[in-house]
Amino acid sequence: MTLTPDLLLRGYAMGIFPMAEHRDDPEIFWVDPVRRGVIPLDRFHISRSLARRIRRGDYRIAVNTDFTGVVDGCADRAETWINAEIRRLYLALHRRGQAHALEVWDGADLVGGVYGVVLGAAFFGESMFSRRTDASKIALAYLVDRLRQGGFTLFDTQFQTAHLASLGAEEIPRHIYRRRLAQALEGRADFLAPDMPDPQSLLQRNTQTS
């Protein structure tokens, strides 16, 4: 069966997501983790060092100005689950307005970013990358703020990692995730509605600095 954007969205609504073994493997398989990674939108953690870097403001944040560049940046590593078919599918979802990227720029250089899929009030984070110190953390900080301001209730990170855990991510059992997913799918949110905050406004809205 050929995987289409519509089938991809049906999978997300069921609580599963696609991966490939590596970039050159044409096969795609569905993943349904026993424990799911999520970032509680009201408990995102910004450390003092990250807050200083955000406050410095020597970067520019943008949304959807180079979605392809973000996907390719995420795939630009020794091992990646993003094969040509997955790349094609997410670019198709982006053209339909159902996948978005938040980007970190240093002048004309794309130095970090994160992309994901939107359904209802759920954001399914797919991947992120960094070409400058803390660029992916800065991207996540602005992403979480955007999700909160846009009315989202679920930020799915698929898996838990030490990197994400340091920012407040947690693991929840599959049955709890599916319950939260069902609730989020009934909600309405707008990824594009919020204004881009300045660094100080971002930090003032986040109470988890330490």
In a domain, residue 182? The reply is: yes
Q: What is the pLDDT of residues 145-186, one digit of tens each?
A: 999 999 999 999 999 888 888 899 999 999 999 999 999 999
Domain count for the chain: 1
The C-alpha atoms of residue 37 and residue 71 are separated, in whole angstroms, by 20
Query: If you ran DSSP here, which 8-state letter would residue 189 be given?
Result: -
pLDDT of 210 reads 40
In a domain, 40, yes or no: yes
Q: Is residue 90 part of a domain?
A: no
**Position 53 in a domain:** yes
What percent of the chain stands above pLDDT 70? 98
Average pLDDT rounded to a whole number, residues 61-87: 93
R_g over Cα of the chain: 16
Model pTM above 0.85: yes
In a domain, 135, yes or no: yes
Residue with structure tokens 């989020």?
184
Q: Considering the domain boundaries, does residue 93 fall inside one?
A: no
Mean of all residue pLDDT scores within the chain: 93
Q: What is the CATH number of the domain that holds 180?
A: 3.40.630.70
Kindly report, residue by residue over 89-119, the tens digit of the pLDDT: 999 999 999 999 999 999 999 999 999 999 9
Residues of the domain holding 156: 32-77+98-205
Q: What are phi and psi of 117, to 5 degrees?
A: -110, 145
Is residue 84 assigned to a domain?
no
Asked, for residue 17, whether it belongs to a domain, the answer is: no
